Amino acid sequence: MTVKLYPTDELWDLSPPTFSSRSRLFYLEPIGIGTPNVESLTSYVSRLAVVHSVPPGTLLAIEIGLLVKKNYCPNTRSMGAIYGLNSVRALNGIRGNAVGLVQALETLTLRTDLRFLTLLTWAEVFPVLGLLKHKQAWCPLCLEEWLEKKTVIYLPLLWSLNVVKVCPYHHQPLQFQCPHCHASFVPLWRNSQPGYCLKCSGWLGSNSWSPSWDGTTDEFQFHIWVANSLGNLIAQAPSNPFPLPRETIKKALTFFAKKSTNGNLLALGELIGVSQPEITQWYRGKTIPTLDKLVKICYLLNTSVSKFLQIDILPTTISQTSNLSLNSPPKLLTFTSRRTKERIRTLLQSVLNQNEYPFPSVREIARRYHFGLATFYRYAPDLCQAVSTRYRHDKKRIQQEAIQIGCSEVRRLAPELYAQGITPTVKNLASVMTNPETLWYQEVLETLSEVRYSLGELPFKITYGGA
């Protein structure tokens, strides 16, 4: 029998179909890439473990250990065999451990965007020192809000930065201490689960938690600014070069020296409160500013951290400038600028002759008399320096006094609360203290920890803060 083939008939394609390669682990989408709320890598590991119905320790021991550690024995089902307590704290950061974990997870999930869950974009421009908190921090109000909205509970990368002390949405300090068992803990361990205490598994969210905190203080406003500024920086990671080159710092210093101090780098240093050797080292690329210094500099220069590190803002003429004068001669002054200079010097001299307490900052004086800060530093760097010294001295004195007041209030009130059957937590103390804003200070929190420990109310001493 013969078969007639008609050209319009569909023919079966008998060649084997091609399949795209399968990922070993679920292709779990990270939360918030390209936004200030992007998830941290440690949070992603915890969530990835949940979708595979295993604890993070098991996921790391069975699947990831082999990829990140040489001579790793896969039967060792222990977190400690892969990451010690110190290295697990650095997994959202900029060093080899973060790189290794990103690569391992991308191999296993076939994702290509997991580096944005770390600070690796800024590995060349941020030093490790003081970059990340040692303990997991969280905003109880954010967690509670997500629970109520039934959205995914996770831990944003922003909360892991050491300089970020407050939630930019709720304007409340981030928490380090479980409200149930008072423990602090690392961001990832065997049984980590975002939103729950590692020690007692208690829920960390709360919608009633609101310490008395004076939101109008300069320090508080500064912390809100820091959280927002770094949130914007994190959001821009996917559109930045990867990694951002170290040269960025030099270019930014060049740009701002040209803009603010006539190209004089040392005058820029005075303007932003950085010593001459330090700013020279940064300019030469020998060292780089720590993140806490960088945010203060950006705050003083009235620019965001992302703009400071955004090399694209630099005009070609400036970015092509190879060298700044480290000691540029003063330019000849016009008649108008001579008068301005005389007025500024007279103003500063008269403020220095008065005994104002607390002594105002150069910025405050400039604001009072409607001058730009850079103009002050340009015409009277020596007097600005003298003002700065007295301002810092008074500020330190005020701070020491506040710490003493806070410590003595804590020593007096914590045992009183405890005697009445009320746990002397930060929140409970804040509601009865005359100066609750002093609970900001590390020394006051440490005093509280000591008092609670001596009352036998805490089973172990707590380390506050992340530094």
Min CB(177)–Zn ion separation in Å: 9
Min CB(202)–Zn ion separation in Å: 4
Number of residues that bind Zn ion (CB under 5 A): 13
- Tell which one of 102, 141, 305, 410 touches Zn ion (CB under 5 A): 141
For residue 108, how far is the Cα from the chain centroid? 29
Question: How far apart (Å, rounded) are the C-alpha atoms in residues 286 and 309?
Answer: 18
Contacts of 126 (CB under 8 A, 6+ apart): 94, 119, 288, 290, 291, 294
> What is the chain's alpha carbon radius of gyration, rounded to the nearest angstrom?
28
User: Nearer Cβ to Zn ion, position 123 or 174?
Assistant: 174
Residue written as tokens 């003493």? 404
393 binds Zn ion (CB under 5 A): no
Please report, as residue ranges, which positions from 444 to 463 form the binding site for Zn ion (by CB under 5 A).
none
Min CB(167)–Zn ion separation in Å: 3
- Tell which one of 52, 69, 77, 170 touches Zn ion (CB under 5 A): 170
User: Nearer Cβ to Zn ion, position 50 or 166?
Assistant: 166
Question: How far apart (Å, rounded) are the C-alpha atoms in residues 169 and 139?
Answer: 9
User: Nearer Cβ to Zn ion, position 377 or 440?
Assistant: 440
Biggest CA–CA distance in the chain, Å, is 118
Tell me the window of 73-81, 165-173, 185-193, 312-320 that interacts with Zn ion (CB under 5 A): 165-173
Residue 279: CB atoms within 10 Å: 22
User: Nearer Cβ to Zn ion, position 72 or 146?
Assistant: 146
132 binds Zn ion (CB under 5 A): no
139 binds Zn ion (CB under 5 A): yes
Burial of 6 (0-12, 13-18, 19+ CB in 10 A): exposed
Instruction: Dig out the tokens for 123 from the structure.
Output: 């590995």
Min CB(437)–Zn ion separation in Å: 19
User: Nearer Cβ to Zn ion, position 185 or 371?
Assistant: 185
Please report, as residue ranges, which positions from 180 to 239 form the binding site for Zn ion (by CB under 5 A).
180-181, 197, 199-200, 202
Min CB(206)–Zn ion separation in Å: 11
266 binds Zn ion (CB under 5 A): no
Min CB(310)–Zn ion separation in Å: 27
User: Nearer Cβ to Zn ion, position 222 or 371?
Assistant: 222
Question: How far apart (Å, rounded) are the C-alpha atoms in residues 430 and 424?
Answer: 9
The span from the first CA to the last CA of the chain, in angstroms, equals 87
- Tell which one of 26, 169, 185, 209 touches Zn ion (CB under 5 A): 169
Min CB(141)–Zn ion separation in Å: 4
Question: How far apart (Å, rounded) are the C-alpha atoms in residues 133 and 136?
Answer: 7
Burial of 103 (0-12, 13-18, 19+ CB in 10 A): middle
- Tell which one of 178, 252, 268, 451 touches Zn ion (CB under 5 A): 178
142 binds Zn ion (CB under 5 A): yes
* 156: preceding bond cis by omega (within 30 degrees): no
User: Nearer Cβ to Zn ion, position 121 or 175?
Assistant: 175
Instruction: Dig out the tokens for 151 from the structure.
Output: 């959205």
- DSSP letters, 233-255, are HHHTGGGS-SSPPTHHHHHHHHH
Residue written as tokens 């690796």? 120
Min CB(215)–Zn ion separation in Å: 14
Min CB(297)–Zn ion separation in Å: 27
CB 186 within 8 A of CB 85: yes
The residues of the shown chain that bind Zn ion, judged by CB under 5 A, are 139, 141-142, 167, 169-170, 178, 180-181, 197, 199-200, 202
